[in-house]
Structure formats: structure tokens, C-alpha cells
Amino acid sequence: MEHEVIHETIKLDDIKMENPYLRLGTDVETLEKSIQTVGLISPLIVNQNNVLLAGARRWQALKNLGFDDVQVIRVEKDSLHQELISIDENLVRKSLSTPEMEKQLLRTKEIYRDLADQDEDFKKQLMDKYNMFKSLEEEEVSQENPRKKNEEPIDENDIDQVTSVVFAKEVSEKSGMSENQIKKAMEREQKSSPIIKEARNRGELSVSQTNELIRLKEDEQEALIEHVSDRTVSELRKLVKDVKAQGVDEALRLNEKAPHAREFNELLKLLKKARKITETLSYEHVELSGPIRKDMEKFWDELQGHMNKIMGLSTGASLMGNEGEGEDPYHPEYMNSSPDHSSTETINQ
């Protein structure tokens, strides 16, 4: 099937912005400066009805600059080819959020497959491209790619497999993503439940969290959605593993998290770091003096008060369990009461 491509100049106001793939409302200030300096390098692409297929940001910049006429490429193609042009523009420009990109990647693959069924010319092009990619791979030095020796050959009569290979390689070249990244992206779009997709669109789930959740059935994903935000990826991975083995309820029971667990873990890390520093200073017989001592005493008292509260201890109690009895050897008041050492260094700031 031959598709005519026409270059022409039309009125900017005659262009119809009815394409759902257009990226509108983005910042075009830099693009405006470029157009003012060097002109419009890439023409807009419209169909036979003047519907814009690619170039929404260029259209917006030209509109802002007050242009009346614009150069366009008019394509006389069917709806699938037109949709492919619009998606291709977005993937190349990299102006999509991750969930949007994944959705459009999957749609692109579907279009490739539909066109292979409907358009003999497109199918022939797929086979030609597949053979070209295959020849290039065979020319690669096997020592540099030992993994390829073990890859199972695909059935060249299986148009689904041929389409998958060509799609992945072409999109990889255009977008800069690896073929594995493309595969993972489409898996997230295919396997995520509607609620997971909504959470991702709101920015509530990361790619790594989603990769773990999609290992579950959709109803299991949705049952866990309220238990994800406060977990690390490794914790979520364990939870998902337990769900697959024992079900949602039992997995949640086994992986129950205490309130504010993340904050307490962070506090524990800081205390361990403080202990290491104080141990080093103690071994070196360093004594605290000067203005910094007063600051240290103040923060020590405040820290001890807060720690007593969260540890459930009464005022003045020791973390070692002797409530209110004796002196706290770690209080700043006693920090310089150790025996004299000839090598003692004094911190005086």
C-alpha cells in the first residue's frame, strides 16, 4: 500500500488539535527562542483533514510567536499509521511520564501486529528488517556475545515473534531504552491492576515497587496497595513471596510492620554512628570542653528526654533499666571525670 506524503504551507489556525496523543501545556520557551534564531527545522505533520499528528510543542511555540502560516508534511495514511506517527513522536521526544510511556509502548507493539495482518507491504518490511537485524547479529564476534549462542532461534514463519523482534529493536534505537527495559515496561502496563495504575499515575508507586507487585494476581495486588508505601523494595519482595506461598492475610501477618518502623530504623542507624564516634574519642582519651560542651549538654538532655518517652521509661530512668538510681556515666556532666591521662587531648571549640 503506497502512502503519499505532501509538503505544503497552510494556515496555523487551520490545524486541528484533536489528537489525544498530543503533548499540550508544556513549557515551550526554549523552543520559541530556537525558532526565532534558526526557524522551524522540523515541519508539523498533519493528516488529510489537517489533524495534527506530530509537533504539538512546535505548534504551541509558533502560536505564541504569532505565526500565521506554517510548513507541514501532510500524510495520506490509514488510522493505524497515523497513530504510530503520533506515538513515535512522543517516544523520541521523551516527554512522557513513565506510566504513559509504558502504555504507549504496548500500544505501539499492538499497532505493529495489526498492521502486519492488514498491510502486506508493512509485513514485508517487517520481514526485511528482521532479516537485516539477524544478519547484523550473525556478523558479531561470538566471543563478545557468548550469550547469543545459547539463545533459541525464533520461528521466522511466526509473525508474532518477528514483530516482537523488530518492534523492540526499532523502539530501542529511537528511544535509547534497552530491549530489556522495553520488555519490562510493557510487562508493567500489561500486568498492573487498574488500582495499581491509578496509584502510579498519582506518583505513589515507584517502578521497583511495581515490578514486585505485578508478580501477583490483580486481586492480590489491590489487597496489598495499602501496605506498600512504608516498605523498602526488599521488604516488599519478601511480602510478595509470602503472598504467593501462603496468601494475602497470612503474608501480612508474617510481615506486620510496627508503626513508624522506618523512623526507628533510621534512629537506630544514627545511634550506632554516634556510638562509633564516641568510642573512638573515648579510646583516644579526648575530653570535651569549651562552648561546644554547653551545646552538647543541652542536646544530650533533650535526647535523653525524648528517648525515655519513646522507650516507655520514667523521667530520669536509665536505658539500662535502673530507673532514677545512681549517676548516668554517659551524661556530659561526667564525660570528663575519667582518670587523668598524659596523652589526653582536649576539644576546645
Instruction: Indicate if the pLDDT at residue 344 is higher than 50.
Output: no
Closest CA to 14 of 41, 65, 49: 49
What domains, with CATH codes, occur in the chain? 1-94 (3.90.1530.10), 192-254 (no CATH), 261-348 (no CATH)
Which tops the pLDDT comparison, 219 or 137?
219
Strands 286-289 and 69-75: unpaired
Q: How far apart (Å, rounded) are the C-alpha atoms in residues 290 and 271?
A: 24
Where is mean pLDDT largest: 151-155, 258-262, 264-268, 271-275? 271-275
Q: What is the pLDDT of residue 317?
A: 54
Instruction: Give residue 35's pLDDT band: very low, low, confident or very high (50, 70, 90).
Output: very high
Which tops the pLDDT comparison, 194 or 349?
194
Tens digits of residue pLDDT in 7-33: 999 999 999 999 999 988 888 999 999
Q: How far apart (Å, rounded) are the C-alpha atoms in residues 246 and 253?
A: 11
* Percent of the chain surpassing pLDDT 90: 55
